[in-house]
Structure formats: structure tokens, C-alpha cells
A and B are shown apart, each in its own frame.
Chain A
Amino acid sequence: QVQLVQSGVEVKKPGASVKVSCKASGYSFTSYGISWVRQAPGQGLEWMGWISGYNGNTNYAQRLQGRVTMTTDTSTSTAYMELRSLRSDDTAVYYCARDLSKEYFYGMDVWGQGTTVIVSS
């Protein structure tokens, strides 16, 4: 079945970096894009950015520009999200999610289980 499996809990100190992985299975990885979405404790959803599974093109939320990098490894069907210069307000659950459509932005139909990132001194 189609699924995205994310890496485990991360605890980081302020100023450090974190890299979250998202391994895809059950579909052609290069045919779909992947978005990253985060959710701070008790808060709503925040779209962080998108990466093409086909050519690695990216588009990031302006407020994260310069701190976030999204990459893919097509040989292992894995997407990565790296966030640098971590602050306490980066504490959140981070989700990867697959585009519903190969051609249009209609939403995300398959989600990873989420990765908790805790930033604390």
C-alpha cells in the first residue's frame, strides 16, 4: 500500500539543526511531489514547503527561507527536510505528505505519521 514512514523523535538544543526523513513506498516516487507541514503543540497546520519528486525543484514558505532545505534521494524514495538555527518555537510535529495529483496542486492524500521535534536547552 502507499505509505510514507518518517524518522523518529528528535530533541535538539537551540541553534542546532535537524534533518527529518520520509521514506515512500507503494508508488512511483518520482511521479509525485511531497509537501512538509508542521504543527506546534495545540496549534494549527503550517505549510513549510514543497519538493518535486521528479526533479527536486523546491518552493519554501517565505518565513522559513534561509533556514529550511528540502531534498530527495530517488534511489531510496526518500524525502528529507532539514531545518537549521532551531528556536524553541520550532518545537512541533513535522509531517511529510504526498500530492494527490501528478499534475495539479489539489491537496495531499497520503501523510506520514509525523516526527516530533523538541527544541529545548
Chain B
Amino acid sequence: DIQLTQSPSFLSASVGDRVTITCRASQGIRNYLAWYQQKPGKAPKLLIYAASTLQSGVPSRFSGSGSGAEFTLTISSLQPEDFATYYCQQLNSYPPFTFGPGTKVHIK
């Protein structure tokens, strides 16, 4: 199975901050990586697919980059509604389509 790690696990930030989350795969996954945002009690929401393509309707302050085994999700200017947990998911090979352990972004 392909393993994903995310760093950091927890992140304290202020409104307006630039935030970067890293996702690393245990082997190359080309660009088959998606990013999701999840708020408490809600289903995950797709933000980015194919490592860097913004999903329709997602604000442009979210961006993704990377290829191979290292990827980043960047929020250019954190907004109050962005405080949530973020997960990466690899879709290069299955089973399983592994998720990362998550990064919780909370208010400083």
C-alpha cells in the first residue's frame, strides 16, 4: 500500500496568514493527488484534484502543487471559514486509495 504523511499535524494560524501543508507519498504517484477540507460533523469537500487543479467553486486562495512524491496545499490568505481539517488522498494505485492522516488548522 502507498502511505501518505502530512505535515504539520496541527497548525495555528491567524486570519490573513499564508498557510502551507505538505503531503508526502511513500512512492511516486505522478499527479494523482486530491486535497479535501472537512469541517466538524460535515462530509469532506474536494478542493484540488490532479495535484494542482482547483475544483469548481473553490476560492482561488487555495492552490496545490507537486508531482511524484511531494505535494503542497497552500492557502494564500486564511479566512475564518478555512479553519478545518485538510486531508490529501492518493489515487494513483489501489486498493486502497489512501488518505493522509490530516492537518487540523485552528485559530491562533
Contact = CB atoms under 8 A, between A and B. Distances in A.
B31 to A, nearest CB: 10
Overall SS of chain B's interface: loop
A72 interface: no
Contacts of B43: 95, 97, 111-114
Contact of A107 (B49, B94, B100, B102): B49
A46 B101 CA distance: 9
Question: How many of chain B's residues touch chain A, expressed as a range?
Answer: 20 to 34
Interface of A: 35, 37, 44-50, 59-62, 95, 97, 100, 105-109, 111-114
Nearest to B43: A111
Nearest to A96: B43
B97 interface: yes
Interface of B: 1, 32, 34, 36, 38, 43-46, 49-50, 55, 87, 89, 91, 94-102
Overall SS of chain A's interface: strand
A84 B55 CA distance: 35
A45 B95 contact: no
29 contacts: A35-B97, A37-B44, A37-B99, A44-B100, A44-B102, A45-B36, A45-B87, A45-B99, A47-B95, A47-B99, A50-B95, A50-B97, A60-B95, A61-B95, A61-B96, A62-B95, A62-B96, A105-B32, A105-B91, A105-B94, A105-B97, A106-B34, A107-B36, A107-B49, A107-B91, A108-B46, A109-B46, A109-B55, A111-B44
